[in-house]
Structure 1
Amino acid sequence: MIPRPYTDLAFQGWCFAGERDRGESFYKAVFQAYFVDERDIGDLSVLTELAENCGLSGQDFRAALVAGTYTETVRRQSRLSRDLLGIHMVPTILSGKKRLEGFVPNLIELKAWLDAVR
């Protein structure tokens, strides 16, 4: 999807879902919506629909995101990722001192990285 959407609301939605034991299902729904269905995960109505499909209250979900209930949580987690872990791009995969940043261009390179981690 071009332009790429802002993902702050999706992360806030994940916080909401996680507090209600639906974080994993919400994560998978957002992943599917963006990477497979090419939906705008920066759009509150799209996220609300996904939340409802995960068994969450759409009204409570929307209210929490509009109120900014999880804004500071997401900012704090972003700072932690950046400052403590040195993450400046996504995806970034860390395993001990080994890191893989950005998309891997081919399976051979990914396999080599995984073998080095082992």
Structure 2
Amino acid sequence: MTSQDTDTTGLDDVLQIDIVSDVVCPWCIVGFKQLEHAIARTGVTAAIKWHPFELNQDMAAEGENLREHIMRKYGSSAEQSQAARDRLTDLGASLGFEFNFTDDMRMVNTFKAHQLIHWAGESRKEHQLKMALFQAYFGDRKDLNDNQVLADVAESIGLNRAEALAVLEDGRFAETVRAEEAFWTGNGIHGVPAVIFERQHLVSGAQGVDNFAAIITELTKGKAA
């Protein structure tokens, strides 16, 4: 069983899991789905807390073609890019998540999205919004740097659309999100997903269901099921 967006501080039988990630990072959703399957397999009760990370803090407002961005950033070829997309698509399908890559997909800045996720946490809907944003970007190819798009996604999970727009327009959580991003990068997190178990055991990357299950089993020895 997984407990998201719930205060479980002090409950000894709950596995605390912090995840540093970005909503335009395909390996972040793959890693989470692997973790989710591992939690289900092991039968533990886990509390998930999401934390912000921007893959492209300096991305221009209009974004950049996703394939061109990946090729420029990592020096990969078009063939390598397509192979990576095919692999991710197959992995996602095996975990119950559908990637819908297209040639016109764009990489965008996600600072606004992280501010909205922080706000959603006040209503205990942080996890719901995070999942909806992954779907909006990778499934529906939405621009997650667009205030109207972000407000629509917030409304789709039951949050107030007008309030979501106000949060995005006045930037009330901008400094908070920047500070949290700085905390994680200052503590050595420079790639995502980064999964921290029990606030002390760092695991980097999408490790696979089996590996996550083994980690959980080891960490929960002695905890109540």
Larger strand proportion of the pair? 2
The residue identity in structure 2 corresponding to 1:89 is G
Inter-CA distance 98–43: structure 2 relative to 1 (3 Å threshold): same
Inter-CA distance 83–57: structure 2 relative to 1 (3 Å threshold): same
Inter-CA distance 83–22: structure 2 relative to 1 (3 Å threshold): same
Residue 110 of structure 2 corresponds to: 7
Tell me the TM-score normalised to structure 2 length.
Answer: 0.44
Cα distance in structure 2, aligned partners of 1:7 and 1:81 = 16
Given candidates 175, 189, 196, the residue that maps to 1:87 is: 189
1:35 is displaced (CA, Å) by 2.0
Give runs of aligned pairs for residues 21-100 of structure 1, distance below 5 A. 21-84=124-187, 86-95=188-197, 96-100=200-204
Q: Which has the larger radius of gyration?
A: 2
Inter-CA distance 47–83: structure 2 relative to 1 (3 Å threshold): same
Query: What is the count of residue pairs matched by the alignment?
Result: 111
1:15 is displaced (CA, Å) by 1.1
Q: Structure 2 unaligned runs (5+)?
A: 1-64, 67-105, 219-225
1:93 is displaced (CA, Å) by 2.8
Larger helix proportion of the pair? 1
Query: Identity of aligned pairs, percent?
Result: 31
**Residues 50-72 of structure 1: CA deviation (Å, up to 9, x unaligned):** 11111111111111111010101
Q: Greater RCO between the two (CA within 8 Å, min separation 6)? A: 2
